[in-house]
Amino acid sequence: MKELETGEVIITQGDLQKRIAELGKSISEDYKGKDPVLICVLKGAVVFMADLIRTIPIPIVIDFLSISSYDAGRGESGAVRIIKDLDINIAKREVLVIEDIIDTGFTLGYLLRILKARNPASLKVAVLLDRPALRIVDLPVEYKGFEIPDEFVVGYGLDYKENFRQLPYICKLKTA
């Protein structure tokens, strides 16, 4: 069997770092004095989270959660479940969810509903990548890194069957 290869780079390491610094600046201004909790959605958002928090000089705390991926083909029964929950109680806290990519919006939609039930003071979202072409669930996203076209991408935390997460850039997969 032929090994999978990566294809064209669509967002370089330099462009990622530049944009993330801009997002960090906005977040620092907006959350000054609010002691926010930044929640990383494992595993895809881990690289984005690690770089983002190092651009934020204000006091923050971080936490992690892991969710099962839904199966779009199974409809309702495909709702996401929390596999590893937060350590921190987010009631009355200012919460910012850090996610790698928003595609259909199902994953974030379910997750936000679960977190909202815990009564945070506020609940907002920062995503690195937005692929609006396949959006089904419309969600407000306060901080967005890049809009990307309707193509599967890997790298910088994003995987194809758990591979390629370590690449320092975002690229396509080679199809041929």
44 near Mg ion, judged by CB under 5 A: yes
Residues at the interface with ligand IMP (CB under 6 A): 44, 99-107, 152-154, 158-159
Q: Which amino acid, 57?
A: P
Question: Residue 43 CB, nearest distance to ligand IMP (Å)?
Answer: 8
Q: Contact region for Mg ion (CB under 5 A) — 26-34, 40-48, 56-64, 78-86?
A: 40-48
| Among Mg ion, ligand IMP, none, residue 40 binds (CB under 5-8 Å by kind) | none
Alpha helices in 82-168 (DSSP H): 106-116
Nearer to Mg ion, 11 or 31 (CB): 11
Q: Which amino acid, 103?
A: D
What is the spatial distance between Cα 146 and Cα 126, in angstroms, rounded to a whole number? 11
Nearer to ligand IMP, 31 or 106 (CB): 106
What is the spatial distance between Cα 8 and Cα 28, in angstroms, rounded to a whole number? 33
Residue 103 annotated in active site? yes
Please, is 76 exposed, middle or buried when counting C-beta atoms within 10 Å of its C-beta (0-12, 13-18, 19+)? exposed
Nearer to ligand IMP, 27 or 171 (CB): 171
Q: Which amino acid, 126?
A: A
* Catalytic annotation, pick one of 35, 51, 85, 103: 103
| Among Mg ion, ligand IMP, none, residue 104 binds (CB under 5-8 Å by kind) | ligand IMP
* Range 19-38, binding Mg ion (CB under 5 A): none
Nearest in space to 64 (alpha carbons), one of 49, 78, 51:
49
Beta-strand pair 37-42/61-67: parallel
Question: Residue 159 CB, nearest distance to ligand IMP (Å)?
Answer: 6
Catalytic residues: 103
